[in-house]
Structure 1
Amino acid sequence: MDIAAKKQRYAETAQEIAAVLDGETNLIARMATVSNILHHAFDHYFWTGFYLVDPDKPEELVIGPYQGTLGCLRIPFGKGVCGAAAASGETQVVEDVHAFPDHIACDARSESEIVVPVRNAKGALIAVFDVDSDEKAMFDEIDQQALEAILEESFAL
């Protein structure tokens, strides 16, 4: 997909997500909707979903709504790509997950990954949004900017 087409697809997807979420306040319903719409909007999205900060174990992520194969159930902050995003508060874009230190292979077919921290209106980390591809180097700055914008609009309630 060329750059212009990718940007256009994200713009259309962002509008669809905003329209569907309009008036919905339930966090899990919002997460399920976002993961579903994004997963089906892009052919290279192999696994798409959320890991929520566990309120009982605040330094651990627990599986949330997702699309794709079985995901890891729990990920400690600082471990793997999701844990790195949670610990640092920064989006992680990884061209080759097998070269990422301490990578967690929930599905061995994953080759590249992007993980975006998700914050509520008060700025507190509530989850990370994780997308895996079964091809290397499938995520870039366009994905990062678009996903960060979609997630901020969808969860800064």
Structure 2
Amino acid sequence: MNFKSKISQIIENDLQTDAKLQQICDVLKNNYPHFHWVGFYFINGTKQELKLAQFAGTPTEHTIIPFGKGICGQVAVSNKNFIVQDVSEQDNYISCGIDVKSEIVIPIFQKDKNIGQIDIDSHDKSPFTKEDEELLEYICEKVATLNLDGIINQPPF
């Protein structure tokens, strides 16, 4: 299956934005065996924090993440991809579960502003490839074309 074309189909369909984001999470989690948790975090209005939006996988208590904290919070500040092949080697890591061994986070930009990210957790060590990173970058570029105002400006959970 060509996942880029599948993602493009989801982005272009007539669903609401939140349903599109949920479909992306589900497609990734169900088709990539090393993607055990897939979710989107977006900036929480004017606050210096991220809030969890759609996800696929075990629910997490980390629905709000301050900028700078954990891998997601660091990406909110650095504006750069962050691939951690072994989370035990990270000092500034927020554990989402004892099974998580690695994480990849890719920022989403609209008008040159980091407005969110896609976050993938894996129960495997060193599973993420350059192809995974490129696919997630493509997804983030596509998600950036959506009207995310309702998601970014929602009150926190």
Shared fold, TM over 0.5: yes
Tell me which amino acid in the other structure corresponds to 1:145. E
Q: Which runs of 5+ in 2 are unaligned?
A: 147-157
TM-score by length of 1: 0.85
Q: How does 1:7-156 map to 2 (within 5 A)?
A: 12-24=2-14, 26-57=16-47, 59-71=48-60, 72-120=62-110, 122-156=111-145
What amino acid sits opposite 2:63 in the alignment? L
Alignment partners' CA distance in 2, 1:49 and 1:107 = 15
Taking the aligned partners of 2:77 and 2:109, their CA distance within structure 1 comes to: 13
Task: Report the alpha carbon displacement of residue 40 of structure 1 after superposing the two structures with TM.
Answer: 1.0
Q: Which runs of 5+ in 1 are unaligned?
A: 1-8
Partners of 1:95 and 1:118 in 2: CA distance: 21
- Contact 2:49 2:64 (8 Å CA) reproduced: yes
How far off is 1:25 after superposition?
7.1
Which amino acid in structure 2 is aligned with residue 20 of structure 1?
A: I
Amino acid corresponding to residue 131 of structure 1 in structure 2: I
Q: Distance in 2 between matches of 1:30 and 1:123?
A: 22
Q: Which amino acid aligns with 1:61?
A: L
Q: Which moves more between the two structures, 27-36 or 80-89?
A: 27-36
Contact 2:11 2:142 in 1 (8 A): no
* Percent identity (aligned): 32
Give the TM-score normalised by the residue count of structure 2: 0.85
RMSD: 1.6
Give the length in aligned residue pairs.
145
- Deviation of residue 149 (structure 1)? 1.4
Instruction: Give the structure, 1 or 2, with the largest relative contact order (CA under 8 Å, sep 6 or more).
Output: 2
